[in-house]
Amino acid sequence: MTGVLTQLAANPYPLYAQLRKLPNPGPNLVSHAEVREALNHPDLVVDKLNDLRRVLPAELADGALARTLRSILAFQEGDGHRRLRRVLAKRLVGKQIDGQRDTIERFTAELLDEVGGEGDVVRELAYPLPARVISNLLGIEWSHVDKLLAWSDTLVRIMSAGTIEPATAVVWEQQMADMRDLVSQLCSDRRREPRDDLISSLLEMGDETLSFDELAANVLFMVTAGHETSTDLLASGILTLLRHPSQLAALRADPSLIDGAVEEVFRYESPLQNVGRVPRVDVTIGGRVLREGRLVNLLIGAANRDPAVFEDPDTFDITRDPNPHLGFGFGAHFCLGAGLARLEARVALPMVLARFPRLELAEHDVPWRSAPGFRGPARVPVRWT
């Protein structure tokens, strides 16, 4: 089983192609049209919170873990989701994100100053850069970042979990309690001395003030969302360009192609491969009836290779236009961090190519990391030349 999962992580696209040919691919939506419609359907909901509530030990039903889970934006629906999203969106779009460009350039330059000889793109750039950017945006001191990333990894495991063993729940409970203690400390500091950062801003929302549960949970969620996707995008972007020399040469010759290159990486190697939805009533999509209460997998990675929408979908083409990929989702749960992830890649990738004109892969068989729903290179060995 482990070997099969490893193969799927390395290259899930042949399986997607096989599913696309089936008249009934089980609990999976595969086509671009079906996935897009499902992402935007009001009766297909995120039911992960209820799943996790059912398996939490009774003594933890109102503990730090449960309070965190029920307050995370991605687990909300309806009015609660709209309110939380409105509050967070005011701080994660437009000028607030555009103003991070200089910071991203500085952090990228600092990280690239440290590389040399043979190295790993993930360890030396793709993992630390988003961590620095999101912690700086939130206003979290660098000394706390390792702890936050560890808690972020826990949140990814929680979001991927089908069940929770009692001993694991106890560990996660303590981690979420520690996380809430840190956020409480940061909030106290910002109330005394507000700064130009996201935590200070979220404490000054007037009538839209978040509860402490909501603030703590979504600080962690923003760290998770702002790190996971961006790390996979940067690593996949460099790997994919190095595997397609003609596209790399085109981008080097015309750096203005970077926006299209970033969008094509999101389509071609989607960091978000799959999301789950549960119909709260019977729902018909693509002529199929999705039964109430039965989990449906929305295969974003398959939708982004749909030949009905993308000409030569298995070809990596940085000039592809239009490119209506679903790499950030669609509809009510469209990724709030899309602007920041795009900006990080648009800044960092050209800096890497300019600094290392002969950058090359040191190994061609690259291992892929795959948690349910997410996918990216575990490491990208390169020669920094």
Which whole number is the average pLDDT over 344-373? Answer: 92
Cα distance between residue 181 and residue 198, in whole Å: 18
Q: What does the DSSP assignment read for 114-162? A: T--EEEEHIIIIITHHHHHHHHHHHT--GGGHHHHHHHHHHHHHHHH-S
Give residue 94's pLDDT: 66
Which helix (DSSP H) or strand (DSSP E) does residue 218 occupy? helix 212-243
Give residue 16's pLDDT: 96
CB-based burial label for 238 (10 Å; 0-12, 13-18, 19+):
buried
Residue type, 127: Y
CB atoms under 10 Å from CB of 141, counted, come to 10
What pTM, to 2 d.p., does this model score? 0.93
Q: What is the greatest pairwise CA distance in the chain?
A: 61
Q: Please state, in angstroms and as integers, the Cα–Cα distance from residue 55 to each residue in 224, 277, 295, following that order.
A: 23, 18, 17
Residue type, 359: L
- CATH number for domain 2-384, candidates 1.10.630.10, 3.30.70.1140, 1.10.150.120, 1.10.357.10: 1.10.630.10
Give residue 373's pLDDT: 78
Q: Please state, in angstroms and as integers, the Cα–Cα distance from residue 110 to each residue in 157, 261, 338, following that order.
A: 31, 24, 24
Phi, psi for residue 150 in degrees, rounded to 5:
-65, -45
**Sorting pLDDT into bands at 50, 70 and 90, what band is 51?**
low
Per the DSSP assignment, residues forming a β-bridge with 272 are 374
Which whole number is the average pLDDT over 195-205? Answer: 88
3-state secondary structure of 263: helix
Per the DSSP assignment, residues forming a β-bridge with 369 are 376
**Sorting pLDDT into bands at 50, 70 and 90, what band is 192?**
very high
Percentage of the chain exceeding pLDDT 90: 68
Give residue 279's pLDDT: 94
**Sorting pLDDT into bands at 50, 70 and 90, what band is 6?**
low
Q: Is the pLDDT of residue 1 over 50?
A: no
Rounded to the nearest integer, the mean pLDDT of the chain is 90
**Sorting pLDDT into bands at 50, 70 and 90, what band is 164?**
confident
Q: Is the pLDDT of residue 203 over 60?
A: yes
pLDDT (tens digit per residue) in 272-297: 999 999 999 999 999 999 999 999 99
Lowest model confidence (mean pLDDT) among 66-70, 196-200, 207-211, 298-302: 207-211
Give residue 329's pLDDT: 93
261, 248 contact by CB (below 8 A): no
Which whole number is the average pLDDT over 224-237? Answer: 91
Task: Choose between 155 and 131: higher pLDDT.
Answer: 131
Q: Within a 13 Å sphere around the CA of 83, how many CA atoms are in the beta-carbon half?
A: 13
Which whole number is the average pLDDT over 12-40? Answer: 95
Give residue 91's pLDDT: 77
Give residue 206's pLDDT: 62
Residues with catalytic function: 225, 228, 230, 335, 344
Q: What does the DSSP assignment read for 331-378? A: GGG--TTHHHHHHHHHHHHHHHHHH-TT-EES-S---EEEETTEEEES
* Close Cβ partners of 4 (under 8 Å, ≥ 6 residues apart): none
Give residue 204's pLDDT: 83
Which helix (DSSP H) or strand (DSSP E) does residue 1 occupy? none
pLDDT (tens digit per residue) in 69-108: 889 998 888 888 899 998 888 877 766 788 899 999 999 9
Which whole number is the average pLDDT over 361-381? Answer: 89
CB atoms under 10 Å from CB of 90, counted, come to 14
Residue 268: name the closest of 226, 326, 225 by CA.
326
Cα distance between residue 205 and residue 88, in whole Å: 10
Q: Is the pLDDT of residue 48 over 70?
A: no
Give residue 371's pLDDT: 67
Give residue 153's pLDDT: 87
The size of the chain, in residues, is 385
CB atoms under 10 Å from CB of 119, counted, come to 18
Task: Choose between 267 and 167: higher pLDDT.
Answer: 267
Strands (E), 177-287: 274-279, 283-285
376, 236 contact by CB (below 8 A): yes
Q: Which residues of 24-38 are buried (b: 16+ CB within 10 A; e: fewer)?
A: ebeebbbbbebbbbb
Place of tokens 């629906």: 77
